Amino acid sequence: MRRKTTVGEVDAEVLAYTAGQDRLLDAALVEADCFGTAAHVTMLSRMPLRPPPVAPADAQRVIAELRNILEDSTAGKFAITLEDQDVHLAIERRLTEKLGDLGKRVHVCRSRNDQVAVDLRLFAKTRLLEAASAASELARVLVAFAKKHAKVPMVGRTHMQPAMPSSVGLWASAWAEGLLDDLALLTAAYDLNNQCPLGSAASYGVPMPIDRQLVSDLLGFAKPVHNVLHANQGRGKMESVILSALGQVLLTLSRMAQDLILFSMPEFGYFRLSAEFTTGSSIMPQKRNPDVLELLRAKAAKVLAHANLVAEIVRAAPSGYNRDLQETKAPFMEGFDLAISSLRILAPLVEGLEVDGDALRRAFGPEVFATDRALELVAKGMPFRDAYHEVKANLDKLTGQSPDEALAAKRHLGAPMGLDFDALDARAKEAGNWAGRELEQYESHRDQLLGLKRGKTRGAV
Ligand code: ARG
């Protein structure tokens, strides 16, 4: 059986196979596609041709209809049909239905490859900013938690065995600083993504005087991608870069989740998860399971696998556009969902974490002070290796020291008593402010170009 589409007839099974999940996934790209199309028609209307491919008044009619599409989409009333194949042709169909021949003029000097590339970059922009602001928020929560429990002793472990005196403050702010490093990766990914690919058309540009700088400026990108072939085939690679950065975030979160699962077990009892973040069992009445943290570990595995999946899809693709790229869309979008939801759920979980100082202190066996003892001997003049052997030969005679005193002695830079929580917090805050400013900038460009009322937030246009 053959089905009619906007761009020709196609076998029904081939259509279903090639359209894949696009109909559903592209619902998330309606805003970006309208925004990109508004920039495109504006540029067409200013082209130095007499007459321009789209007259200025017509560009405004297209933009008015794009606003209607956005409104319908927000109300759940804009459908992408199988025959449309994707959001790009769905919008073209609607513009043609409403505006007749004008709708058919819109696609001059661009291709769907162009559209999907710009849509995904706009989509990624806002999602990366959501991820960055959630990461900043979590880092700040961790720093506040660390500061509050800065003086609570905690056994530091290596190989999971008791090692040296440490603190809850050191433990918690270590994850915060890890997240700040991950934020630098998110920012780098953001900067690479913040280049406008429009004007590539099928991959090779067009024999008409399009203004790529103008569309880039209208859309609020930092600059256009220079080479039009790179603009097009940079798709997939960009997703891979972004998913890798998100993967690093999840790598940090997953290890922290693993510690929390372990240290909140009754056998440790260092921390207690608040009831909202645990779930019960259908058979065992006593259970309070850390399902949130377990799922977080699994979701981290998925994001890392998605990063790998996307790299694998692109790995053998030859130059120019290839349809393989379409298959990167689902893991890309899911990667954002997984990362952002994980960042968001951990912040209140950490805020609600109870710390049991007694349990933490009880865990200090005398062996935890062995290295401190050796260093005391060194302070009296003994060579370190001799002191090491001296303590090692008398391990059974080690007596417990006060964990609190041991902590008080660790004052150098970055040690339990030498942590600059305020500097960490300032870094996290700055990242959050940056994300807020960038999002504001995105929204103001979008609202100005589409003629939307200012002050309305994304998703509520
Ligand atoms: N849905 C397609 C994708 O995600 C849009 C581009 C289709 N381009 C093409 N030349 N068939 O890649």
> Residue 455 has what pLDDT?
56
Any long-range contacts for 186-190 (C-beta under 8 Å, 24+ apart)? 186/128, 186/131, 186/132, 186/135, 186/245, 186/246, 186/249, 187/132, 187/431, 187/434, 188/245, 189/128, 189/241, 189/242, 189/244, 189/245, 190/125, 190/128, 190/129, 190/132, 190/438
pLDDT higher than threshold 80 for residue 458: no
Secondary structure (H, E, C), 92-111? HHHHHHHHCHHHHHCCCCCC
Two structure tokens written together for 115: 């559209």
For range 86-99, the mean pLDDT? 97
Q: Residue 321: CB within 6 Å of ligand 1?
A: yes
> Residue 57 has what pLDDT?
98
> Residue 389 has what pLDDT?
98
For range 400-412, the mean pLDDT? 95
pLDDT tens digits, one per residue of 309-329: 999 999 999 999 999 999 999
For range 136-155, the mean pLDDT? 98
> Of all protein residues, whose CA lies closest to atom 11 belonging to ligand 1?
323
Alpha helices in 220-328 (DSSP H): 228-233, 237-263, 291-315
> Residue 281 has what pLDDT?
87
Q: For residue 110, give the nearest of 219, 6, 33, 22 by alpha carbon.
A: 33
The rounded Å distance from CA 450 to ligand 1 centre is 25
pLDDT tens digits, one per residue of 195-215: 999 999 999 999 999 999 999
Q: For residue 369, give the nearest of 415, 406, 412, 410 by alpha carbon.
A: 406
Q: Residue 323: CB within 6 Å of ligand 1?
A: yes
> Residue 324 has what pLDDT?
96
For range 106-135, the mean pLDDT? 97
> Residue 460 has what pLDDT?
43
The rounded Å distance from CA 43 to ligand 1 centre is 23
Model confidence band, residue 158 (pLDDT cutoffs 50, 70, 90)? very high
Question: Could you give the 3-state DSSP secondary structure of residue 378?
Answer: helix
Q: Residue 112: CB within 6 Å of ligand 1?
A: yes
Q: For residue 242, give the nearest of 302, 189, 299 by alpha carbon.
A: 189
User: Alpha-carbon distance 245 to 331, whole Å?
Assistant: 14
For range 42-61, the mean pLDDT? 97
pLDDT higher than threshold 60 for residue 457: no
Unique residue bearing structure tokens 């530091």: 156
Across the chain, what does the average pLDDT equal?
96
pLDDT higher than threshold 80 for residue 246: yes
> Of all protein residues, whose CA lies closest to atom 2 belonging to ligand 1?
326
pTM for the predicted model, two decimal places: 0.95
The rounded Å distance from CA 454 to ligand 1 centre is 33
Task: Name the active-site residue from 159, 226, 282, 412.
Answer: 159
Two structure tokens written together for 166: 């440490």
Pick the CATH number of 114-149+170-202+225-361+422-449 from 3.30.450.40, 3.20.20.140, 3.30.70.100, 1.20.200.10: 1.20.200.10
pLDDT higher than threshold 90 for residue 162: yes
Q: Write the DSSP symbol of residue 289.
A: B
Two structure tokens written together for 446: 């979008």
pLDDT higher than threshold 90 for residue 416: yes
User: Alpha-carbon distance 127 to 119, whole Å?
Assistant: 12
Question: 86, 239, 329: which to mutate for ligand 1, most atoms within 8 A of CB?
Answer: 86
Pick the CATH number of 2-108 from 1.10.275.10, 3.30.460.10, 3.30.420.40, 2.60.120.260: 1.10.275.10
> Residue 456 has what pLDDT?
52
Active site residue 88: no
> Residue 2 has what pLDDT?
84
Matching fold, domains 2-108 and 114-149+170-202+225-361+422-449: no
Residue 62 contacts by C-beta under 8 Å, 6 or more apart in sequence? 37, 38, 41, 54, 95, 99, 102, 103, 106
What residues does each domain of the chain span?
2-108, 114-149+170-202+225-361+422-449, 365-400
For range 2-19, the mean pLDDT? 89
> Residue 6 has what pLDDT?
77
> Residue 461 has what pLDDT?
40
Two structure tokens written together for 212: 């790529």
Least confident piece of the model among 20-34, 48-62, 201-215, 278-292: 278-292
